[in-house]
Chain A
Amino acid sequence: MKNLSYILFALCFCVVSCSKQESETFDHFFFRSDDADLFVEVNGNISSNTFILLLHGGPGGGGEGYNEGYYVDELEKDYAMVYLDQRGNGASTGDYDKESLTIAQNSRDVYQLTRFLKAKYGDDISLFLAGHSWGGLTTCHALVNTEIQSELKGWIEIDGAHDYILSDIEAIKLFQEFATVEIAAGNNLSFWNPVLETVNAMDTLNITDEDQGYLNSTAFEAEKVLPIADPELADSGPPYNLDSPSLGLAISSANSIGNVILNDDSYTYALTDRLGEITLPSLFLWGKYDLVVPPALGVSAFNLVNTTEKELVIFEASGHSPMSNEPELFVEEVKDFVERYK
């Protein structure tokens, strides 16, 4: 029996673990929306009453991947940053059907969350909606398909993919442009020659699944050979965190399958034609060397939104993630916008 006591004590000791507690600068919870339980983390200056709801990219990302580095440290000093794991991503879970893995449902979730944030933190909070990459599609869809605009002070789109089809067409053009310049300059010929050959063979009226995969993966590879800043400020944090709410084989498997479904659904929305329905103050932040979602999408969005309170910033030394490539300038632009319209 003595041995058993030792064993039980040792096992109980192993089982005890800690997790972060709610505080004035930290809050996390699940938000239930149409059978999904969405993981939400609120970090930063909650008492500022200014909230930025940031939607991650992907599909396949999570709020956790955005909740680190210089830019969040700086923004969290002045504002509360809200990191949402969209349905089928990150630690968001629930008991929902496969049929609800759609952009339309995700944008409804976001709208419900904005209503909830106002109910929880006060109807007088200033709430901004920001989306990076694929998250830009969800934000844009929510803006033109739900009543969310009435809840918000502004929209921040960061290299946002609000039109997948246009994005692919513009990516082909940009690859051709960059490849031609780099080949003429004799730079990285072993990379650019085959790229130019491949994109020249693509038909912009019939971009195949294979083409899409090539464009996306090559865009990230190209960032290694383009003049993109990679400052030490852009610390990506530890590679793996055992406290991660999304750590697990079943979670990553489910998200991988879900992401294929969401990615296919993303191609069914070309929201360029509906940008005129957006009347909110809007800030478009784009990396000049973004071949994943080319700056042409930011330019057209800037021209098409139906407001005079808008700004487009092209980051000269950034690729798909200006918040990591030029974090100081990124923070400056976001703060300037938020202070103006909060």
Chain B
Amino acid sequence: MKYSKILKSLSFLLFISFSTNAQEQELTSSSDKRMLPLRVSYYGENGVHPGLRVGTSYLLHEKTKVKIYKRQAKQSKKGSKTKYIQYKLDANLGYYNHPNNHTGVLLGLGVTRHKNKNKKKVSFAWSFEVNYLRRFYNIETFEILEDGSINTINLAGNGGLMFALAPSIERRFGEKGTLLFLKPAFQAVKYNHSNFLNAAVELGVSLNLSK
């Protein structure tokens, strides 16, 4: 039952993402759309529980906004401001280790809005992610049966959907468009009897391997 809910949620997100993509096809360049960068990052659950996250992103839509100042003097002094905005669909797989407790495995999709002004090297982004988080205990789990015998529960753990809102700052390097990014995430995660706020931080790179 739980798994069907998760599949439905992920399918819905994919459907929305690709629908949007279909509508905006003409607005984006076909060369950009082919780029599927590899994103590799340190994933720190609560900052200190170390993990690794890999993923890629797919350009859904991009637009450019040019701001021209109404006052001639200001326009000639400062020039036009150009904002480049991109919407990307992200797919990620990751894990982390909480010592003496559990290893978390995350599978997620997200949408990120990247904003860059005047093609500067530093840009900012906001992501909304839906992940399925499965926790596998690092230590053995037992139960006692009615007859008094011990049952060892294999792959014991728990899990659930995790929603995350994550601002990030990115710095572009070199010709290939390699990005270094720092991305703290604020998460709503199923734990025990309800959903609670959690946090994580990612520090990683995005590499354009296809170029």
Contacts and interface: CB of A to CB of B under 8 A. Distances in A.
Interface of A: 4, 7-8, 11-12, 14-20, 28-33, 37, 39, 88, 91, 93-98, 100-101, 112, 115-116, 119-120, 242-251, 253-254, 257-258
Contact of A18 (B98, B99, B192): B99
Q: Which of A7, A28, A37 has the most CB of B within 10 A?
A: A37
Interface stretch (B61-69, B111-119, B123-131, B139-147): B139-147
A9 B43 CA distance: 14
Interface string B172-192: 000000000000000101011
Contacts of B194: 98, 254, 257
B59 interface: no
B138 interface: yes
A31 B143 contact: yes
Nearest to A18: B99
Given A15-B50, A93-B191, A119-B144, A250 B198 contact: yes
Given A93-B192, A119-B149, A243-B100, A31 B142 contact: yes
Interface of B: 38, 40-42, 45-46, 48-52, 96-101, 135, 137-144, 148-150, 153, 156, 158, 187, 189, 191-194, 196-199, 204-205, 207
Contacts of A98: 193-194
A33 B143 contact: yes
Nearest to B144: A116
Q: Which of B45, B139, B187 has the most CB of A within 10 A?
A: B139
A247 B142 contact: no
B42 A11 contact: yes
Contacts of A243: 99-100
A109 to B, nearest CB: 11
Nearest to A98: B193
A7 B191 contact: no
A317 B1 CA distance: 58
B192 A115 contact: no
Contacts of B40: 4, 7-8, 11
A94 B158 contact: yes
A258 B156 contact: no
A314 B178 CA distance: 69
Q: Which of B41, B138, B196 has the most CB of A within 10 A?
A: B196
